[in-house]
């Protein structure tokens, strides 16, 4: 969607930032160079009168983004997960960005449902309420199924939201290109990558089939977790523009007075929130990455119910092992091992001094462990850790930044429920159990089994692949140095024999 509207949108954006007082906040957060500051002011200041006023009761940055509309609100929320880009202060402001907009009419929602399901909504739903929650992308209605009388939550995308997002994202890309052009020194912020990351997140949220799939995967992973629930997905009533989940009845996690009045054990709830998050991140590698108070409810029986699966985090198995070893090393104050894990994982360049790095890690861990137990923060530790690793040349890893940001949010929820919680005391058994099951001889045997099983699927092809590789290698050598054919055949046989041994090991251990 290229065109003059992008330039106009940028002018309107700059004008709104100026009018709301957010321009300096944003430029300072990005540590913008002088050339970029001048360009931004030239776009915003002369047209300040064209900017939206926003709500004066809000902080400047949230005031501006809220005034600019849904795409900007969502952009702010996504940036709140990237303190490496916008800084801790602005990330904290954006984290509490109000994602509330006026709802659209119930009749419009019913029209969308009718189109998506190709049926009269009232032939499916016995009741369909007015909106009970409205956000930047969609709104939620409570409904009752005619078939079984079960209460469900129906989430419906805002009319025209896809077109609005495509328009604004296109303008964001133009702004990113301008940053690259006008301020080469600001390329360290990777503006094009930031916008691409944002676009990927939003595209996932604009297709509610993806959120339905996330909720179903999360529910399957956590089905055996005591005291935790994920509403069941209604697949046949979920499409690209609407999704249907079981209705979650409970007390919002931030309503402490109501939780106490209901007789729930706040200390147990706080510990369970933290325990569950660590289990999901380490055990499953798939965690709720927006686990704030608004997305958690406390059921009448005390179970914690998770809601809103638009932003989920994923960690591969190797990253999980490295993360667990890092946490375990800090718990034991084994800073040398923490340093070794960073080098083994390739997080820190191999040419750096490992002893110097271990010393820097000690400077991170010791002050935190010296604090009172109620003030110790795993999120703060990870934040300091990333600062140190950046100084030693570690490249930004988006999945770890998302993990760190979520850890901070989860800690906040846990402390609001249980102010005296000892984060490390709660985390230690979870991390130790993961280390015991996934690092060491037991994990090695499991890895060998998986390797053997993979090799067994390629067994018939292995001799041919080995022979091809040897032939290509021999052709690159000078004729007089070519390996005799009997040696090549011997190596092929040796490779096949080795594969057979691995297959037998895998079959024996499976």
Domain annotation covers residue 22: yes
Same domain for 171 and 142: no
Does residue 336 lie within any of the structural domains? yes
Is 84 noted as a catalytic residue in this protein? no
pLDDT at 112 over 90: yes
Whether the predicted pLDDT of 172 surpasses 50: yes
pLDDT band of 2, cuts 50, 70, 90 = low
β-sheet bridge partners, residue 252: 297
- Give me the domain span that covers residue 281: 249-439
Q: How large is the average pLDDT for residues 485-493? A: 45
Q: Is there a single domain that holds both residue 30 and residue 116?
A: no
Residues 199 and 258 in one domain: no
Mean pLDDT of 259-281: 94
Whether 226 is in a domain gets the answer no
CATH classification at residue 216: 3.30.200
Q: Nearest Cα to 156, choosing from 245, 73, 219?
A: 245
Residues 123 and 195 in one domain: no
Do 141 and 178 fall into the same domain? no
| Same structural domain, 264 and 412 | yes
Q: What's the confidence (pLDDT) of residue 30?
A: 66
Whether residue 374 is found in the same domain as residue 496: no
Candidate ranges 24-33, 93-102, 186-195, 383-392; pick with highest mean pLDDT: 383-392
Which of residues 420, 439, 458 is at a domain's end? 439
Average pLDDT over residues 471-498: 53
Q: Which of 439, 468, 492 is the last residue of a domain?
A: 439
pLDDT of residue 450: 65
Q: 337, 358 in Cβ contact below 8 A?
A: no
Domain count of the chain? 4
CA-CA distance, 347 to 389, in Å (whole number)? 8
- 216-236 pLDDT, tens digit per residue, is 999 999 999 999 999 999 999
The active-site residue out of 290, 334, 355, 447 is 290
In a domain, 228, yes or no: no
Distances (CA, A) of 504 to 382, 466, 499: 43, 20, 9
- Residue 435: how many CB atoms within 10 A of its CB? 19
Query: Structure pTM?
Result: 0.74
Mean pLDDT estimate for the chain: 80
Cα separation, 479 vs 166, whole angstroms: 60
Residues, the chain: 510
Strands 304-306 and 228-229: parallel
- Helix locations, 284-334, DSSP H: 317-331
267: three-class secondary structure by DSSP = helix
Instruction: Based on the fold, state whether residues 281 and 350 are members of the same structural domain.
Output: yes
410, 490: one domain: no
CA distances from 326 to 378, 432, 454 (A): 12, 12, 29
The separation between CA 146 and the C-alpha centre of its own chain, rounded to angstroms, equals 36
Q: 294 vs 197, 243, 288, 421, CA distance in Å?
A: 24, 19, 13, 21
């Amino acid at each position: 969607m290229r065109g003059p509207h992008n330039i106009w949108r940028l002018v309107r954006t700059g004008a709104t930032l100026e009018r709301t007082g957010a321009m300096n906040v944003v430029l300072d957060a990005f540590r913008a160079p002088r050339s970029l500051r001048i360009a931004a002011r030239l776009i915003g200041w002369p047209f300040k009168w064209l900017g939206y006023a926003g709500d004066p009761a809000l902080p400047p940055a949230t005031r501006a983004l809220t005034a600019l509309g849904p795409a900007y609100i969502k952009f702010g929320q996504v940036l709140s997960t990237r303190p490496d880009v916008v800084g801790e202060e602005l990330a904290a402001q954006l984290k509490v960005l109000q994602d509330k907009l006026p709802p659209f009419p119930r009749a419009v929602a019913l029209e969308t449902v009718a189109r998506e399901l190709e049926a009269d909504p009232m032939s499916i739903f016995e009741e369909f309420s007015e909106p009970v929650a409205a956000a930047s992308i969609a709104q939620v209605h409570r409904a009752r199924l005619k078939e079984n009388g079960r209460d469900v939550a129906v989430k419906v995308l805002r009319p025209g939201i896809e077109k609005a997002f495509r328009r604004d994202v296109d303008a964001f890309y133009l702004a990113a290109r301008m940053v690259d052009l006008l301020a080469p020194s600001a390329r360290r912020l990777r503006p094009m990558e930031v916008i691409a990351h944002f676009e990927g997140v939003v595209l996932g949220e604009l297709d509610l089939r993806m959120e339905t799939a996330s909720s179903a995967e999360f529910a399957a992973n956590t089905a055996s977790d005591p005291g935790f629930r994920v509403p069941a997905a209604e697949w046949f009533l979920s499409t690209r523009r609407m999704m249907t989940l079981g209705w979650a009845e409970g007390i919002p996690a931030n309503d402490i007075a109501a939780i106490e009045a209901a007789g729930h054990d706040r200390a147990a709830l706080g510990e369970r929130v933290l325990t569950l998050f660590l289990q999901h991140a380490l055990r499953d590698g798939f965690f709720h990455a927006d686990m704030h108070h608004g997305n958690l409810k406390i059921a009448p029986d005390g179970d914690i119910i998770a809601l809103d699966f638009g932003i989920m985090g994923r960690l591969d198995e190797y990253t999980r092992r490295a993360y667990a070893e890092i946490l375990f090393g800090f718990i034991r104050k084994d800073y040398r091992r923490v340093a070794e894990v960073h080098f083994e994982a390739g997080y820190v360049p191999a040419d750096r001094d490992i002893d110097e790095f271990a010393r820097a890690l000690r400077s991170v861990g010791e002050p935190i462990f010296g604090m009172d137990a109620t003030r110790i923060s795993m999120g703060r530790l990870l934040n300091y850790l990333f600062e140190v690793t950046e100084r030693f040349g570690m490249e930004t890893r988006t999945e770890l930044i998302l993990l760190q940001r979520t850890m901070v949010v989860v800690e906040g929820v846990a402390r609001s429920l249980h102010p005296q919680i000892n984060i490390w005391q709660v985390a230690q058994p979870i991390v130790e159990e993961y280390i015991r099951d996934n690092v060491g001889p037991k994990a090695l045997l499991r890895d060998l089994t998986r390797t053997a099983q993979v090799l067994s699927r390629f067994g018939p092809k292995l001799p041919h692949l080995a022979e091809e590789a040897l032939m290509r290698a021999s052709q690159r050598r000078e004729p007089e140095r070519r390996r005799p054919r009997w040696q090549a055949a011997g190596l092929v046989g040796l490779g096949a024999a080795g594969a057979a041994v691995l297959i037998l090991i895998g079959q024996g251990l499976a």
